[in-house]
Amino acid sequence: MAQRLTHAQTAPVSASQKPQLARREWKVALIGFGTVGKSVAKILSQDVKSPFALTHIFNRNVGRKKRDGLPARIKWTEDIEDVLGSDADIVIELIGGLDPAGTWIDRALRSGKSVVTANKQLICRRGAGLMKTARDAGRRLEFGASVAGGIPAIIGIQEGLAGDRLFKIAGILNGTCNFILTKMDSSGATFQEALKEAQELGFAEADPTADVDGYDARAKLVILTQAGLHVDVRDEQILTRSISTIDAVDFLYAGDLNCTIRQVSIAQKDTSNGLRLFAAVQPAIIPLTSLMAHVQGSQNLVMATGEYAGRMVFSGYGAGGDPTAVAVISDLYSIARTAGAPSETLPMVPEIADSVSSGFTVPHYVRFVVRDRPGILAETATILAKYQIGIDAVLQKPGFPGTELSFVMTLEACDSAVLQKALTEIARLDFHVKPPLCLPIFSD
Amino acid sequence: MAQRLTHAQTAPVSASQKPQLARREWKVALIGFGTVGKSVAKILSQDVKSPFALTHIFNRNVGRKKRDGLPARIKWTEDIEDVLGSDADIVIELIGGLDPAGTWIDRALRSGKSVVTANKQLICRRGAGLMKTARDAGRRLEFGASVAGGIPAIIGIQEGLAGDRLFKIAGILNGTCNFILTKMDSSGATFQEALKEAQELGFAEADPTADVDGYDARAKLVILTQAGLHVDVRDEQILTRSISTIDAVDFLYAGDLNCTIRQVSIAQKDTSNGLRLFAAVQPAIIPLTSLMAHVQGSQNLVMATGEYAGRMVFSGYGAGGDPTAVAVISDLYSIARTAGAPSETLPMVPEIADSVSSGFTVPHYVRFVVRDRPGILAETATILAKYQIGIDAVLQKPGFPGTELSFVMTLEACDSAVLQKALTEIARLDFHVKPPLCLPIFSD
């Protein structure tokens, strides 16, 4: 009895007794004045009714960054102590990376400030520890902008679907990959051509590795998995495959299958035999009827499937200065709503998965580029048969030179891990010009 | 100075000083044990870790409704005083209608209970007053289940996009209409046939007026307009048009235009000259490339467009027992998160629109059913020209009898209100077998 609090003990004071927090002003300090930081400052200064006053902007070489049009009261600084030692109520961290961002957030929380961050790598790696620091300090740490930019996916999943039991999260979480793949699809461009255009337009960085090889999406998938599936998974446990192996010809074959290609991130919980998590970030074949096929350019999409409400979809602009700034500012409002106090969240201790694997049992698409000779199909089919993998169809477009002939097999549903073994064996045969490309076929 | 609270005054006590609310149990009373109520009771009782304990279930003829499988401690009652006089922390209202639901919610709030409701008509008509009662009582009133069932549209718009300035909300808000229209589209059924099937499958009520004539969607549009656009609008200010005038032939013509037909609800704010609101609930022509065209069966979709983050989309199951119950239970968690205290929302006083009209300036589809004679096209085109309305195309499928010939005109973008005047004049001509059907063509 004594351990359970009664209603009377926990009843809040009535609204009339409470200070009118709604009218107060929140002092906000900004760490990082890049694309998103500039948008945050712009949007806050454009809203005359905003309860948030920007008091500090920290950046290296801040003199060069300083802008007209922002309130004169803002203190521009390149000394982080000016921010951490200030009377700001909320610190927005937008410098990215693990350090010094993590140390600064930790110090801000311990000094009684709430923190809003868009730092996916940091939340992915050290989110749990920082959340604990925030709770211990009686403050809030919000990271809605770390996944899918302006799309309210974290709040949608964590709060809007709190009443469901989610078992699957899938989505298009990287706008750079989606831009490149939709460009290849619409124009017939090669990967390198589409990447170059993405770089010229500012949709891809000079070193595109984090995006095209899937590490960016993987960090977001880890955050969504923890927030929505309540499963504790580390990023290095999740398989990633690069989209750089996709050729223009794959879009032709995908088209023949009434499909297209997208970088898809999936995490799926299976509790039928312990807690198994299936998770991967990889290019995949997607039917044109799927909502994922309709995500164009740099947009994002997050699907969450629950036992009770079925599949819910959130989509929109997942990156860019203004959309990400909207997520940051929405988090400011969220903190204001609880007057900066930690919300009374229920014990959602993430479970540790007994196993994490990428062995989805789905149909597959395998594209071969070969130096033609008799027997290729027979030898390939023989190895697949040995692993009990059924062939659904063989597609071969006319017009390829015999020295570099592309053909495709679609395979009946099988375990990705088993198929990988078969493909390793097939790859040893002598006719390959390029390694076989294997993509799962995901339908909604 | 004295009017603005300083940080020190509003700083919350540290977490270690606070009672561990997260571990408490919330007593929950349920008013209404229909489809949604049964799902709520089922889901709550299936979750062994749930912090919510169902203590009361109120319904008429409760003896007949009583179920095995629910906890024995639940008090089943047909006396509302048992609920209102109980020590329940939260009351869930699921009986619908304005009265007695409104009175009971008001009394529950005044007696110190928070309230969760799925009652769209009540929130549409009396939401503002009930919200004030809740704030004055230091309690919460949540209505996430009143719009789009399981889709977290209210929280997504109100909290997840709090940092944006939304100016347009559009969506498919009525699952019954969407079921009927997608059925007509896929099977070639008439409206009456599709309605009959919807009724047999439980997707439409015996009296389908509220759904097919748009009143249900209109109440939801009012709630979304207030929550997202912060504009105070009354339901009777918003034009509704029935989907019952749609014929099977309209899907044939829509198909020729690479389009389909959906019941679309739109509210759009224009602040270029005072505050004007354009709003309507009506069947509309939708390009197949639009996300709205991909909403199948009884699903819903909500699009919110803001100045900064662009267009965000939320979609999923908008009705049904389990999805709606998820929204109800998510609202319970939301109340638990602030320990039942009203959230410190910022002053979002809805503005009153200077005008509310349905005069969207968009292209239109007009379908005529006529007794054929020479001169029909000339007379029709002459009247359109008089109103400066340009004709984009004329479509006429072969094979209609001359006594009942259907043809379609697509018109260049024009004000719906001006077009209505032209059509009133055209409708007076002698060749009509049915009144002309006019649908706006909405592209995303």
Asked whether B298 and B178 are in contact (CB, 8 A), the reply is: yes
B289 three-state secondary structure:
coil
User: What is the number of alpha carbons within 13 Å of residue A149 lying toward its C-beta?
Assistant: 31
Q: Distances in Å between the alpha carbon of B149 and those of A244, A413, B119, B155, B319?
A: 41, 34, 11, 12, 5
Cα–Cα distance between B49 and B54 in angstroms, integer? Answer: 13
Element housing B70 (H / E)? none
What's the confidence (pLDDT) of residue A339? 85
Of the candidates A73, A67, A68, A61, the one whose C-alpha atom is nearest the C-alpha of residue A29 is A73
What's the confidence (pLDDT) of residue A11? 33
Are B160 and A138 in contact (CB < 8 Å)? no
What's the confidence (pLDDT) of residue A168? 98
Asked whether B439 and B408 are in contact (CB, 8 A), the reply is: no
Of the candidates B302, B280, B264, the one whose C-alpha atom is nearest the C-alpha of residue B181 is B264
Of the candidates B186, B187, B200, B182, the one whose C-alpha atom is nearest the C-alpha of residue B298 is B182
Calculate how close chain A gets to B102, using CA atoms only, in Å. Answer: 22
What's the confidence (pLDDT) of residue A24? 79
Cα–Cα distance between B429 and B421 in angstroms, integer? Answer: 14
pTM over 0.80: yes
- Contacts of residue A105, defined as CB under 8 A and 6 or more positions apart, other chains included, come to A91, A93, A115, A117, A122, A130, A141
Q: Which residue of A has its CA nearest to B140?
A: A15
Cα–Cα distance between A174 and A172 in angstroms, integer? Answer: 6
Calculate how close chain B gets to A406, using CA atoms only, in Å. Answer: 31
Of the candidates A314, A306, A408, A419, the one whose C-alpha atom is nearest the C-alpha of residue A358 is A419
| Structural domains in chain A plus CATH codes | 21-142 (3.40.50.720), 153-318+347-357 (3.30.360.10), 361-440 (3.30.70.260)
Of the candidates A320, A35, A389, A48, the one whose C-alpha atom is nearest the C-alpha of residue A178 is A320
Are B159 and A152 in contact (CB < 8 Å)? yes
Catalytic site residue B168? no
- The residue ranges of chain B whose pLDDT is under 50 are 1-23
Q: Which residue of A has its CA nearest to B19?
A: A10
Are B161 and A330 in contact (CB < 8 Å)? yes
Asked whether A77 and A58 are in contact (CB, 8 A), the reply is: yes
Of the candidates B149, B110, B143, B148, the one whose C-alpha atom is nearest the C-alpha of residue B124 is B143
Asked whether B275 and B245 are in contact (CB, 8 A), the reply is: no
Are A310 and B325 in contact (CB < 8 Å)? no
Count other Cβ atoms within 10 Å, centred on residue A218.
27
Are A308 and B323 in contact (CB < 8 Å)? yes
**Residue B163: which of A135, A308, A332 has the nearest Cβ?**
A332
Element housing A96 (H / E)? none
Cα–Cα distance between A164 and A82 in angstroms, integer? Answer: 44
Cβ contacts below 8 Å, chain A against chain B, sum to: 264
Calculate how close chain A gets to B314, using CA atoms only, in Å. Answer: 5
- The residue ranges of chain A whose pLDDT is under 70 are 1-23, 345-349
Residue B1: its chain A contacts at CB < 8 A?
Answer: none
What's the confidence (pLDDT) of residue A17? 32
The backbone region for A230, taken as left when phi is positive above 0, alpha when psi lies in -120 to 50, beta otherwise, is left
Residue B5: its chain A contacts at CB < 8 A?
Answer: 19-21, 23-24
* Residue of A132, A220, A269, A434 with catalytic role: A220
- Dihedral over Cα of B158, B160, B164, B169: its sign: negative
Mutation site for A-interface testing, chosen from B20, B42, B344 by largest number of A Cβ within 10 Å: B344
The first and second tokens of residue A431, run together, are 């006719």
* Residue of B38, B220, B386, B397 with catalytic role: B220
Calculate how close chain A gets to B145, using CA atoms only, in Å. Answer: 10
Q: Which residue blocks in A248-364 are alpha helix, DSSP H?
A: 248-256, 321-337
Residue A320 CA, chain-centre distance (Å), reads: 14
- Tell me whether the omega of the peptide bond preceding residue B100 falls within 30 degrees of 0, making it cis: yes
Q: Distances in Å between the alpha carbon of A208 and those of A203, A215, A219?
A: 10, 10, 16
